[in-house]
Amino acid sequence: MSRPTIVLATRNPGKIREIRQVLTGLEVRIAALDEFGQVPEPAETGDTFAQNACEKAHYYAKATGQWCLADDSGLMVDALDGLPGVQSARYAAGECPPSAPRSVSDAANNRKLLAALADVAEENRTARFVCCLALSDGQRIRIQTFDTVEGRIGHAPRGENGFGYDPLFVVEGKGRTAAELPADEKNAVSHRGKALQHFARLLREIL
């Protein structure tokens, strides 16, 4: 019997790599979205991570005809009243074109965040990464998980192992940014890693 397929509703190579690392060992085939041609991206109109994750999961499940796992995640900075939040990936959209490589948009997002926090004292630079995962079979959400990791925003990027805001996010209790942590250590404590671990336990129950 062939293994069931779960499509990852993202073209972000960093997310794909982390998801596959945590889900290694499950009796499923993890497929990249690129295997299904140029499926247009849906508009992310939700006000919450959960709403966006569910919308993306349903959209891509219907588009591919496969079960689909969607991740919606981002950074919430206390001194910025929760921004960039659900707009994390598009925080600096006005400063780089939509076609810009992810590394360029990531760098622009980080520059904008540092500028916004330029006058914020160390003790007020607290933040958290948030991740919501949703698995759709095309008709309903079969699994939904949520997790966070606490930290603070550093004053300059550090580390080469992460993506997005990882080089700025100093993980609570680690003294290192998420981009300075080895993959196994990051996946054990990160918002996405913890949400994926919970997801894997629930998926085993329904397979």
The one catalytic residue among 34, 47, 71, 72: 72
Q: Say how far apart CA 117 and CA 132 lie, in whole Å.
A: 26
Burial 117-135 (b: 16+ CB within 10 A, else e): beeeeeeebbbbbbbbbbb
Longest dimension (CA), the chain: 59
Nearest residue to 194 (alpha-carbon basis) of 152, 128, 143, 131: 131
72 is catalytic: yes
Strand partners for 5: 29
Q: Is 106 exposed, middle or buried (0-12, 13-18, 19+ CB in 10 A)?
A: buried
Catalytic residue IDs: 72
